[in-house]
Amino acid sequence: MPHLDTRALQRMGFILMPNFALMSYASATEPLRAANMLAGLPLYEPVMLSPGGGPVRSSSGISVDCADLGESGAGCHTIFVCAGGNVVDWGDPGGLYAALRRYARQGIRIGGISSGAYVLAAAGLLENRDFTLHWEHAAIFREAFPHLQPRQARYVITGDRVTCGGGVAPLDMMHRMISERMGADFARRVSDWYLHTAVAEPTASQRGSAAERFGTHHAALLTVLETMETAIEQPLDRATLARLAGVSPRHLDRLFAQELGRGFLETYRLIRLTHARRLLEQSSLSLSSIAFATGFSSASHFSRACKAILGQPPGAFRHKGMGARSGIA
């Protein structure tokens, strides 16, 4: 039986950003509580933090009391930034970025949950690092930090940086962290406590497969659809994608009609507009910037396509993003 590391209490700090998601927060903190209970010892001390102290309101309207980051962050083993919502919620209140840099210099491990990696990047803490964040926030992240490339992973642990995609992914991440300290058997007991019977690997996908999202299992068509999702700013033409899939352009058109019930151009435009909608909801980028980032020749062209395909002008989605979608992950 492996030796359990019960030598020291580990303080785990969680900086709660405005409109953080309770799902991500609970998935990260509850395994620590369960570990203490199952061990019969205080192994972990979760500490809720905010710049300046005071309560922080979650996306569901529940507020959590927090200690002051400047006073209580010192002595933490790890400090996570737990964020969700929109880019307007991920700013630098009370010198947050400077505090994160200071604690990183002191040797404290720094992490990000859901969109927490955006805050870490803004603080300059992800340069030449491997990391991930929630897939819904990847579009605005790439626009803000084009030199940084998040991985499509549930979580990434690389030395003194720990990031995860949010949602239920922190359950997997905490299983790994507890396992590294207390052994796999103990970590399994913690996961079993929450009926978490299928612990995912860190490289597991954050989203359902393309086959599930598009409702087709045709290999050639899936190759084209997955490529479309990655070729947004500079869309590829039909001939190029058909060649990539090993079919003729005419056969590719038939596959779209038979498998999806809509054409090549309509599908590609819908994928690009879905990407644009996320940028509208999560950022303050201009319409021209979003148009060019999603392969449209002008803001007017983008606006017409948005209204024709999505049923509303771009401005309607920007207003929705400030409210209804503020609590994602």
Averaged pLDDT, 231-246: 93
- The pTM score is 0.77
Q: Report d(CA 114, CA 133) in Å as an integer.
A: 5
- Mean pLDDT (whole number) for 20-39: 96
Please name the residues in contact with 87: beta carbons below 8 A apart, sequence gap of 6 or more: 118, 140, 144, 282, 283, 284
pLDDT beyond 50 at 313: yes
Q: Is the pLDDT of residue 209 over 80?
A: no
Of the segments 46-55, 140-149, 194-203, 289-298, which one has the largest average pLDDT value?
Answer: 46-55
Domain range spanning residue 278?
210-321
On whether both 42 and 81 belong to a single domain, the answer is: yes
Side-chain half-sphere of 135: how many Cα atoms within 13 Å?
13
For residue 34, tell me if it sits in a domain. Answer: yes
Q: What is the DSSP string of 13-59?
A: EEEEPTTB-HHHHHHHHHHHHHHHHHHTS--EEEEEEETTSS-EEBT
| 153 and 238 assigned to the same domain | no
Identify the CA nearest to 140 among candidates 20, 18, 15, 281: 281
Query: Looking up tokens 């997955």, which residue turns up?
Result: 226
Q: Which residue has the tokens 């409109």?
A: 19
Contacts of 119 (CB under 8 A, 6+ apart): 17, 81, 83, 90, 96, 97, 100, 112
Report residue 194 CA to chain centroid gap. Answer: 22
Same domain, 65 and 187: yes
Q: Is the same domain home to 109 and 248? A: no
How, if at all, do strands 78-83 and 67-68 pair? unpaired
Residues 186, 222, single domain; the answer is no
Which of 193, 225, 246 corresponds to the end of one domain?
Answer: 193
Residue 326 lies in a domain: no
Let me know whether 25 and 174 are in one domain. yes
Q: What is the Cα–Cα distance from 201 to 199, expressed in whole angstroms?
A: 7
What is the gyration radius of the CA atoms in the chain, in angstroms?
22
Residue 2 has pLDDT above 70, yes or no: no
Please report whether residue 66 resides in a domain.
yes
Residue 182: which CATH number?
Answer: 3.40.50.880
Q: What is the pLDDT of residues 88-129, one digit of tens each?
A: 788 888 899 999 999 999 999 999 999 999 999 999 999 999
**Residue 70 scores a pLDDT above 70:** yes
Count of residues in the chain: 329
Predicted confidence (pLDDT) at residue 244 exceeds the cutoff of 70: yes
Q: What is the pLDDT of residue 140?
A: 87
CA end-to-end distance (rounded Å), the chain:
37
Q: Is the residue at 75 inside a domain?
A: yes
Q: Are residues 182 and 217 in the same domain?
A: no
Greatest extent of the chain over all pairs of C-alpha atoms, in Å = 67
CA dihedral 239, 139, 293, 245 (to 10 degrees): 0
Find all residues with CB under 8 Å of 27, minimum gap 6, and list them. 167, 168, 169, 170, 171, 174
The CATH number assigned to the domain holding 268 equals 1.10.10.60
| Partners of 11 in the β-ladder | 45
Confidence of residue 283 (pLDDT cuts 50, 70, 90): confident
Is pLDDT above 50 for 29?
yes
* Same domain (yes/no): 233, 278: yes
Query: Residue with structure tokens 């991500």?
Result: 24
CA 129, CA 19: separation in Å to the nearest integer? 26
- Residue 327, pLDDT > 80, answer no
Task: Please state which of the ranges 12-16, 75-79, 308-312 shows the lowest mean pLDDT.
Answer: 308-312
Q: What is the reported pLDDT for 285?
A: 83
Q: What is the pLDDT of residue 1?
A: 39
pLDDT of residue 84: 87
Q: Are residues 169 and 310 in the same domain?
A: no
What pLDDT, on a 0 to 100 scale, did the predictor assign at position 210? 83
Mean pLDDT of 175-192: 95
Beta strands in the chain (DSSP E): 10-16, 44-50, 56-57, 63-64, 67-68, 78-83, 109-114, 155-158, 161-164
Would you say residue 323 has pLDDT above 50? no
Residue with the bigger pLDDT between 133 and 4: it is: 133
pLDDT of residue 193: 93
Average pLDDT (244-271) is 94
Q: What is the pLDDT of residue 329?
A: 57
The token pair at 221 is 């068509």
pLDDT at 278 over 70: yes
**Lowest mean pLDDT segment, chosen from 3-7, 104-108, 142-146, 300-304:** 3-7
* CA dihedral of residues 45, 100, 134, 9 (deg, nearest 10): -20
Considering the domain boundaries, does residue 198 fall inside one?
no
Q: Pick from 42, 47, 49: which is nearest to 9 by CA?
A: 42
Residue 142 and residue 45 share a domain = yes
CB 233 within 8 A of CB 292: yes
pLDDT attached to residue 113: 97
Q: How many domains does the chain have?
A: 2
- Look at residue 322 and tell me whether its pLDDT is greater than 70: no
Confidence of residue 303 (pLDDT cuts 50, 70, 90): very high
Of all residues in the chain, the percent with pLDDT exceeding 70 is: 95
Is 305 within a domain?
A: yes
Confidence grade of residue 213 (pLDDT, cut at 50, 70, 90):
confident
Q: Are residues 184 and 263 in the same domain?
A: no
Pick from 27-36, 161-170, 234-243, 308-317: least confident: 308-317
- For the segment 166-170, the average pLDDT, to the nearest whole number, is 94
